[in-house]
Amino acid sequence: MGKVHVFDHPLIQHKLTFIRKADTGTKEFRELVNELATLMAFEITRDLPTQEITIQTPVCEAKSRILAGKKLGIVPILRAGIGMVDGIIDLIPAAKVGHVGLFRDPETLKPVEYFVKLPSDVSEREFIVVDPMLATGGTAVEAINSMKKRGAVNIKFMCLVAAPEGVEVLTKAHPDVDVYIAALDEKLDEHGYIVPGLGDAGDRLFGTK
Ligand code: URA
Q: What per-residue confidence (pLDDT) applies to 209? A: 83
Q: How far is the CA of 71 from the centre of ligand 1 (A)?
A: 30
Give dist(CA 200, CA 134) in Å, integer: 12
Q: Atom 3, ligand 1: which residue's CA is nearest?
A: 200
Give dist(CA 70, CA 73) in Å, integer: 10
- Residue 162 has phi, psi (to 5 degrees) of -130, 150
Q: What per-residue confidence (pLDDT) applies to 28? A: 98
Q: How far is the CA of 56 from the centre of ligand 1 (A)?
A: 50
Q: What per-residue confidence (pLDDT) applies to 2? A: 77
Ligand 1 is surrounded, with C-beta below 6 A, by 80, 133, 135, 192-194, 197, 200-202
Atom of ligand 1 nearest to the CA of 198: 6
Task: Output the CA–CA distances (angstroms, integers) from residue 62 to 50, 55, 67, 69, 176, in the order listed.
Answer: 16, 5, 17, 20, 39
Q: What per-residue confidence (pLDDT) applies to 105? A: 85
The rounded average pLDDT for each run of 10 residues, N- to C-terminus, in the chain (209 residues) is 91 98 97 98 92 98 92 96 98 96 87 96 96 97 98 97 98 98 97 96 95
Q: How far is the CA of 18 from the centre of ligand 1 (A)?
A: 16
Q: Atom 4, ligand 1: which residue's CA is nearest?
A: 200
Q: What per-residue confidence (pLDDT) applies to 69? A: 77
Rg (CA), the chain: 18
Q: Give the closest residue to 132 by CA, choosing from 197, 195, 189.
A: 197
Give dist(CA 45, CA 92) in Å, integer: 9
Q: Give the closest residue to 156 by CA, choosing from 171, 135, 177.
A: 177
Q: What per-residue confidence (pLDDT) applies to 126? A: 95
Q: Give the closest residue to 96 by CA, choosing from 67, 123, 75, 70.
A: 75
Q: What per-residue confidence (pLDDT) applies to 146? A: 97
Is the bond into 196 cis (omega within 30 degrees of 0)? yes
